[in-house]
Amino acid sequence: MSRSRDSRIKQAPRLAEAFQRLQAYEAQPREINVGSQGPREPRTNVYVKPFGLDLPADQLAQTSITADQYSTMAPIVNGAGTGAEVTDTLGTNDLAPVRGFTAAKVKWFRNATVSSTTVRSQRTNLPYLKYAGETLTCPFGRATETDNMYDVFNTLKSGILEISGFQMSRVSLTREMFSLHR
């Protein structure tokens, strides 16, 4: 059975209630909970060649990642034929003076089983599915001057989705960004 053309309109009363709950939630003063999650994992500096910036051949841009995620994701990112590259050493290269640079990142949500629970939003009280699993993220840059961020990501994504042992795998891209205000 197909959805009716007016299905979104028929949801309006329920969504109006959710919107009112959201406004009430946002109006409530909340306690500041800075540091309530405990200390962050130590981060390590890594280096990439940006897609959207032509740097001299001997310069790399710096970003950071947790050591655990780097050890898990770097072999995948640096795999043969991906067109992507990330390294934790500068070697003979120099650090590029790039301000406001945020590297492209591949994000992998994975779980050995497909398990979810239905929970209610604290903000709107609407139900949604929450999946158990872990998320890994790794910055990446281009390996050669002709590599394109989207082509490289698609190659990474197909390689990650071929990794066995996970019933649930989702791969997404955070695009590279440059900000003038950093």
Look at residue 112 and tell me if it is in a domain.
Answer: yes
**Range of the structural domain that residue 141 is part of:** 41-178
Look at residue 75 and tell me if it is in a domain.
Answer: yes
Look at residue 2 and tell me if it is in a domain.
Answer: no
Look at residue 27 and tell me if it is in a domain.
Answer: no
Look at residue 99 and tell me if it is in a domain.
Answer: yes
- Report the SS3 class of residue 169: strand
Look at residue 49 and tell me if it is in a domain.
Answer: yes
Please check whether residue 64 is in contact with residue 85, taking contact to mean a CB–CB distance below 8 angstroms.
Answer: no
pTM, two decimals, is 0.76
Q: What is the pLDDT along the chain (182 residues), one digit of tens a residue?
A: 456 777 878 888 888 888 898 898 888 887 777 766 777 788 899 999 999 888 888 999 999 999 999 999 999 999 878 899 999 998 898 888 888 889 999 999 998 888 888 999 888 888 988 888 899 999 999 998 889 999 999 999 999 999 998 888 899 999 999 886 65
Look at residue 101 and tell me if it is in a domain.
Answer: yes
Please check whether residue 66 is in contact with residue 136, taking contact to mean a CB–CB distance below 8 angstroms.
Answer: no
Look at residue 4 and tell me if it is in a domain.
Answer: no
Question: What's the domain count of the chain?
Answer: 1
Q: Which among 106, 107, 101 has a CA at the least distance from the CA of 50? A: 101
R_g over Cα of the chain: 21
